[in-house]
Homo-oligomer: A and B are copies of this chain.
């Protein structure tokens, strides 16, 4: 059994200008790994319609799932829903169920459900809504594209409601060994070991602590027995 693949598309000028530090990628990567979906690529693009359309087309065709983050609010720079609709060849317009839940939300809050807020009920035809327990405005799934808010706590809530509906593969497991030697010292033996375990992925991540070089060796795969076997060998070599 293999692992389904996924990509992520982050939409937002604020990330590319350096104003905001992107944080949803790390969260999504961890959650997908846990359920056995392999995140293979992430892209960050600006709030430019043509760029979003092109990225959605390419990534949704290449991977089993595409998760997007950002650009579904009420302001003029929120253009993700329209771009996803165009990329997937769907029509888009205000949808009754989305209108109803937003109307109820603003009624409860005593705030006007004005034209800008009604924009958030624009959902492509054929999409399924993704619940937003924080601020009501829904995300949606259209085909294999899951469109979610960029605000981290809303993004996380939406991921939590989408993932249980997806079929993952075997969990992507990892174990690591921290060694107090530089990468260059362990590289040859580590590379030879990696070649012996072609079904696993092995990576080395150098660090410097108190002026001394060290390396974290990480073994990833889906078969716990094979990972254990590799860790035994690693510990014999460098432990």
Contact = CB atoms under 8 A, between A and B. Distances in A.
Interface of A: 12-22, 25-33, 38-47, 51, 73-77, 106, 111, 114-117, 119-120, 134-135, 151, 153, 172, 174, 182-188, 190-191, 194-195, 201-208, 213, 218, 220
12 contacts: A13-B220, A15-B29, A17-B29, A19-B174, A25-B44, A74-B187, A75-B190, A75-B204, A77-B204, A114-B184, A115-B188, A119-B187
B73 A204 contact: yes
Contact of A26 (B18, B77, B203, B205): B18
Contacts of A115: 188
Contacts of A194: 76-77
Contacts of A77: 194, 202-204
Contacts of A207: 151
Given A16-B29, A18-B29, A203 B47 contact: yes
A184 B220 contact: no
A117 to B, nearest CB: 4
A134 to B, nearest CB: 8
A22 B19 contact: no
A192 to B, nearest CB: 9
> Which of A39, A74, A194 gathers the greatest number of chain B CB atoms within 10 Å?
A74
B46 A43 contact: no
